[in-house]
Amino acid sequence: MRLTLLLPLLSALTACNKKEVPALSVPSCPTCVIADGRGFTPSKLTLPKAEGTTKVTFTRTSTETCASEVVVPALNINVPLPLGKPVDIQIPTDKPQTLTFQCGMGMYKSSIVVQ
């Protein structure tokens, strides 16, 4: 019975240690985040304080990563990241704040700083 409980955990932990595949071509921009075998790049995204929201675009460029979704706990956001398809998330920028975003397992963590 213990082995049955450990197998899903071991599988999840090794998902973040698989080899990287060649990255897809993704245009760079100041509000873009790439998810790959190393986690999220950039590890910190800074947005200017402004009324409303700012669109942040996440793109997963590897099949060998546990960052197949992005989670922003403070905003109750949990969005799948399909391979090679940009996914836009609206981030509130009406007040200074630091928001953590992470993969679904919480192994890769990064931040968005609104200032």
Amino acid at 52: G
pTM: 0.75
Extract the tokens encoding 27: 């245009």
Extract the tokens encoding 107: 């192994």
Range of the domain at 23: 2-114
> What does each C-alpha distance from 115 to 5, 96, 97 come to in angstroms?
44, 5, 7
Instruction: Tell how far CA 22 is from the center of its chain.
Output: 18
User: Domain of 43: which CATH number?
Assistant: 2.60.40.420
Number of compact structural domains in the chain: 1
Per-residue pLDDT of the chain (115 residues; tens, 9 = 90+): 444 444 444 444 444 444 444 444 445 688 999 999 999 999 999 999 999 999 999 999 999 988 999 999 999 999 999 999 999 999 999 999 999 999 999 999 999 999 9
